Amino acid sequence: MNLSVEPADAEKLRKWVEGLSEGTVCVAMHRNADPDALASALGIKEILQSLSHKKKNILILTSEGLEQVSKKLLEVLAPQTEVINDNPGECDATVIVDTSTPQQLNRLSSLLSKPYVVIDHHEVNDLIEEADVSIHRPTAASTSELVAELIMYLKVRPDPRVLTFLIAGILYDTRILRLASPETFAVMAWLTENGGDYRKAINILTLREVSRSEVIARLKGLSRTGLYRLNKEAILAVTCIGAHESAVLKALIEAGADIAIAVAKRPNATRITIRVSQSFLKKFGSEPIASNLALHFAKELGGSGGGHAGAAGALINSHVSPKQILKIIARFFTRKGYSLGILEEGRWMEECE
Ligand SMILES: [Mn+2]
């Protein structure tokens, strides 16, 4: 299979590294570095270490820190790695990864006055013209993929955790392989065969840490939920919860509710949050059902409301009794040909009284 990088590119990089005099080589990423940039930088660091005969000082640089998920990856896979959040002023040459403009380099753009290499996959790259060596492949789904190919050609044997990092970089930029190409799978196969841990990479990227308060809100919200029928075809879930309403409503919709509503008691106010499932939305064509219901609440009860077809909210300027809320919902849907029936009332009315 033809990969994005050619052996000749790898040779150019080797010559460039071998031609460097003693001193400090830096690896620069775009500001607020994402997992693709960080994985590429760590991969390049391994290449530089392996190709440098003279002991070289290698620094990894960014500006405006790291993205949250990059921090998490670093914590788990390379906790000893130092990422410097500025130009330390001692770089004699730089490898710039996953970056296409001086603006993206931000405070690191001063590095462009010294010799540099560019490895990138962005559509257009403004840095390659002045570069000593550039490996710019807009068709590649990630820079990590290009760096992995360089590691492969140069027969570098990196720490397996760096290979796991590169897998994470690829997964991130391909949106968990949705944007993968045949080359991506070839590189992934190589990375996993050589010690990269696919499962670990995907777990770190996809496991969202949920706060204890969100867990409690979700469980409370679910346990109080009242269930209603709209004709025979749709299920309405209404609950009373004062925090993390979005998370509670997401859980209700994922559990199969067609429309989910959270009521929150506020001092002298009532907040109503609404979610509508994709399948229920289709029944109303272009009518933005959630925002219309929010506006309906605001009009009937006094306050403001708005949002989108599937997600909306209203803030009412007074305490509203749950019975009144249910009456308004029933009236709104009656006009659309639905009659509201009770499946199980739950405890939401007591909680929100
Ligand atoms: Mn990228």
CA–centroid distance, residue 153 to ligand 1 (Å): 21
Q: How far is the CA of 144 from the centre of ligand 1 (A)?
A: 7
Provide the 8-state DSSP code for 127. Answer: S
Cα 36 to ligand 1 centroid, rounded to whole Å: 5
Query: Which amino acid is present at 219?
Result: L
DSSP state letter for 275? E
Q: What pLDDT band is residue 97 in, cutting at 50, 70 and 90?
A: very high
Distances 182 to 110, 147, 163, 212 between C-alpha atoms, Å: 37, 16, 19, 41
The set of long-range contacts for 305-312, using a CB threshold of 8 Å and a minimum separation of 24, is 305/272, 307/274, 309/276, 309/281, 309/284, 310/275, 310/276, 310/277, 310/278, 310/281, 311/274, 311/275, 311/276, 312/273, 312/274, 312/288
| Centre of ligand 1 from the C-alpha of residue 37, in Å | 6
Burial 201-210 (b: 16+ CB within 10 A, else e): beebbeeeee
Q: For the residues 161-186, what does the mean pLDDT come to? A: 96
CA of 308 to the centre of ligand 1 (A): 31
Give me ligand 1 centre to Cα 139, in Å: 12
Spacing, Cα 95 to ligand 1 middle (Å) = 15
- pTM assigned to the model: 0.70
User: Sign of torsion, CA 44 49 52 58?
Assistant: positive
- In the reported structure, the alpha carbon of residue 124 is separated from the centroid of ligand 1 by a whole-number distance in angstroms of 12
Q: Tell me, in angstroms, the distance from the centre of ligand 1 to residue 40's CA.
A: 9
Environment class of residue 6 by beta-carbon count within 10 Å: exposed (0-12), middle (13-18) or buried (19+)?
Answer: middle
Stated as kind and residue range, the H or E segment containing 332 is helix 322-334
CA of 174 from ligand 1 middle (Å) equals 9
User: Vertex 62, ends 56 and 66: CA angle to 5°?
Assistant: 125
The fraction of the chain above a pLDDT of 70, given in percent, is: 99
CA atoms within 13 A on the CB side of 209: 5
pLDDT at 54 over 70: no
Rounded distance from Cα 100 to ligand 1 centre (Å): 10
Residue 56 pLDDT class (50, 70, 90 cuts): confident
What architecture (CATH level 2) is domain 214-352? Roll (3.10)
Residue 89 dihedral angles phi and psi, to the nearest 5°: 80, 10
180 CA → ligand 1 middle, Å? 13
Using CA atoms in the order 99, 62, 181, 129, what is the torsion angle rounded to 10 degrees? 20
- Whether domain 7-206 has CATH 3.40.50.970: no
Over 90: is that where the pLDDT of 21 sits? no
Q: What is the mean pLDDT of the chain?
A: 95
Domain segments of the chain as ranges = 7-206, 214-352
Q: Interhelix angle for 68-77 vs 198-206, to 10°?
A: 140
Q: How far is the CA of 321 from the centre of ligand 1 (A)?
A: 52
Distance 162 CA to ligand 1 centre (A): 16
How many angstroms is it from 229 CA to the middle of ligand 1? Answer: 47
CA–CA dist 58, 61 (Å, integer):
10
pLDDT at 53 over 80: no
Q: Which uninterrupted H or E stretch holds 58?
A: strand 57-61
> Can you give the pLDDT at residue 335?
95
Spacing, Cα 203 to ligand 1 middle (Å): 20
Q: Mean pLDDT, to the nearest integer, of 73-94?
A: 94
Rounded to an integer, the average pLDDT of 48-62 is 88
